[in-house]
Amino acid sequence: MTEPLDVVRVFCGPDGRHGNELGVVRDGARIPLPADRQERAAKLGFSETVFVDDDERGIIDIYTPTLRLPFAGHPCVGTSWLLDVPELVTRAGVVEARQDGEFTWITARAAWAPPRTLRRYATAAEVDALDVPPPGEWVYAWAWEDEAAGRVRARGFPGRNDGIDEDEATGAAALLLTHALGRALNITQGRGSQILTAPGPGDMIEVGGRVTLAESPSRALGL
């Protein structure tokens, strides 16, 4: 059995390129068991796959190829754009969502984000030159491109040994960095993806970016 699958690119650059691919299984109810969802996510091979349990209420379940996540940034941004809903219900909590021109925004708590090691470098060139580190630690490498303007260069290395050596764009890591620095950021990650953030009351943080349908998904979809 093959469920209908949408593939979107989340956090695209200003030119519409790049972004992190996300698989969204709209009829998630057809795969009710977490173990079966995990198996399907592993076969799809995206950095994250979302199973939609209720498309009107925005109830979703998020998986990497090896882990079930209570919350993740780029899956929430991409799914809220695809479903056009004002909120998503994740296992971590309710994520508010809104559209603002070409950008899709979510609001979430920093405490919901999975742990990441935020590793600062002196220059963007150092971040660009990094090799993929050994598995075992989720590393978000970053440096200021223009500190006064809040412009950051970043790369994300999941370290899970699941075939995803580098994440093109990671909303949860951007959320954690924003929380740590306490200021709005304009992040260029990976090959050219763009993530915008803005701190709110308490530990609430907005994360936003451009989303588009993937014309030619890089991962095999035939199951």
85-94 pLDDT, tens digit each: 999 999 999 9
Q: Which amino acid is at 138?
A: W
- Within a domain: residue 223? no
Do both 37 and 77 map to the same domain? yes
Asked if the model's pLDDT at residue 1 lies above 60, the reply is no
Q: How confident is the model at residue 217 (pLDDT cuts 50, 70, 90)?
A: low
- Within a domain: residue 126? yes
- Within a domain: residue 66? yes
> What confidence score (pLDDT) does residue 187 get?
98
Do both 87 and 178 map to the same domain? no
13-42 pLDDT, tens digit each: 999 999 999 999 999 999 999 999 999 999
Do both 10 and 63 map to the same domain? yes
Give ∠ CA 34-135-218 in degrees, rounded to 5: 65
Do both 76 and 98 map to the same domain? yes
Least confident segment among 129-138, 144-153, 176-185, 208-217: 208-217
Do both 79 and 18 map to the same domain? yes
Query: Is 108 in contact with 128 (CB distance < 8 Å)?
Result: no
- Within a domain: residue 210? no
Do both 64 and 134 map to the same domain? no
- Choosing from 56, 85, 107, the residue where a domain stops is 107
- Within a domain: residue 183? yes
Output DSSP code: residue 192.
Answer: T
Distance CA 131, CA 6 (A): 32
pTM, two decimal places: 0.94
- Strand-pairing partners, residue 105, are 98, 208
Looking up residue 133, the CATH number of its domain turns out to be 3.10.310.10
> What confidence score (pLDDT) does residue 4 get?
83
Indicate the Cα dihedral angle 133, 61, 199, 81, nearest 10°. Answer: 110
Do both 14 and 67 map to the same domain? yes
Do both 152 and 133 map to the same domain? yes
Question: Is 187 buried (19+), middle (13-18) or exposed (0-12) by CB count in 10 A?
Answer: buried
Do both 103 and 13 map to the same domain? yes
- Choosing from 49, 77, 107, the residue where a domain stops is 107
- Host domain of residue 196: 112-202
| Overall domain count for the chain | 2
Do both 95 and 155 map to the same domain? no
68-106 pLDDT, tens digit each: 999 999 999 999 999 999 999 999 999 999 999 999 999
Q: Which residues contact 159 (CB under 8 A, 6 or more apart)?
A: 133, 134, 135, 136, 137, 138, 139
Distance CA 133, CA 196 (A): 26
Q: How far is CA 60 from the centre of its chain?
A: 14
Do both 66 and 140 map to the same domain? no
- Within a domain: residue 20? yes
- Within a domain: residue 31? yes
Asked if the model's pLDDT at residue 219 lies above 80, the reply is no
Do both 81 and 10 map to the same domain? yes
- Within a domain: residue 120? yes
Q: Which of 2, 4, 17, 79 is nearest to 216 (CA)?
A: 17
